[in-house]
Amino acid sequence: MRNATTHCRYAEDVNPAFPAEIMAKLGGEALRDCIQCGTCSGACPMSVHMDLTPRQLIALTRSGLERDVLQSATPWLCASCYECQVRCPRGIKVTDVMYAIKRRAIEKGLYPKRFPIPVLARSFHDMVARHGRNSESRLVIQLALKTNPLGLLRMPPLGIRLLRTGRMVLGQERVKNREQLKAMLDAVEES
């Protein structure tokens, strides 16, 4: 993936409304207070695997470079461990900002398409919206079918071990009152 920070920037790359959009999301309010100290990047156990460090992602967000931010793998690699958020000296809810960026990337269809993490999020979301519960084994199999069908061939040893120890449930878990759950979710509007 190209390194966004080394590219020349022109006015047409900037969406001036983008910073305010992210700041309007839950937990995004304090983004303006960032002093670019890099504590978040230093604390992050995943930053070595990211195309942009959390600090860079915040800088680009505040500059309105929407496309670079939404196409980045960084928010999807965030494991939600909240270490950056707890350590941030400016009280920025960095993990929540990552969630806000993920949702925006999905809305705009700009997330990294071949990346299995948004695919998992989508399958998980759909399963829960439909059944009210998630069945881990089914989710894993669905994910493999969508991203790496050949990988399924390598999975049996772990699957067999889980089955043998009674830790794999193949049936779909569901709530009894699915109508109630659906009615509730339908009644909540996203903004």
Q: Which residues bind other proteins (CB under 8 A)?
A: 25-26, 45-46, 49, 77, 79-83, 85-87, 93, 95, 99-100, 102-103, 106, 116-118, 120-122, 124-125, 128, 132-137, 140, 143, 158, 161-162, 165-169, 173, 175-177, 180-181, 183-191
Smallest gap, in angstroms, from Cβ of residue 60 to other proteins? Answer: 20
| CB-nearer residue toward other proteins: 9 or 82 | 82
- Interacting residues of 115 by C-beta distance below 8 A, sequence separation 6+: 73, 76
Smallest gap, in angstroms, from Cβ of residue 55 to other proteins? Answer: 18
Q: Would you state the structure tokens that stand for residue 57, as one six-digit string?
A: 């992602």
| CB-nearer residue toward other proteins: 14 or 168 | 168
Contact 110, 67 (CB under 8 A): yes
- Interacting residues of 37 by C-beta distance below 8 A, sequence separation 6+: 55, 89
| CB-nearer residue toward other proteins: 11 or 188 | 188
Nearest to 27 by CA among 68, 83, 85: 85
Q: How far apart are CA 170 and CA 186, in angstroms?
A: 28
Smallest gap, in angstroms, from Cβ of residue 68 to other proteins? Answer: 19
Q: Which residue has the tokens 């670079």?
A: 68
SS3 154: helix
Smallest gap, in angstroms, from Cβ of residue 7 to other proteins? Answer: 26
| CB-nearer residue toward other proteins: 9 or 159 | 159
DSSP classification of residue 138: H
| CB-nearer residue toward other proteins: 63 or 147 | 147
Can you give the length of the chain in residues? 191
| CB-nearer residue toward other proteins: 13 or 21 | 21
Contact 112, 76 (CB under 8 A): yes
Q: Would you state the structure tokens that stand for residue 151, as one six-digit string?
A: 């990988």
Smallest gap, in angstroms, from Cβ of residue 140 to other proteins? Answer: 6
Smallest gap, in angstroms, from Cβ of residue 118 to other proteins? Answer: 7
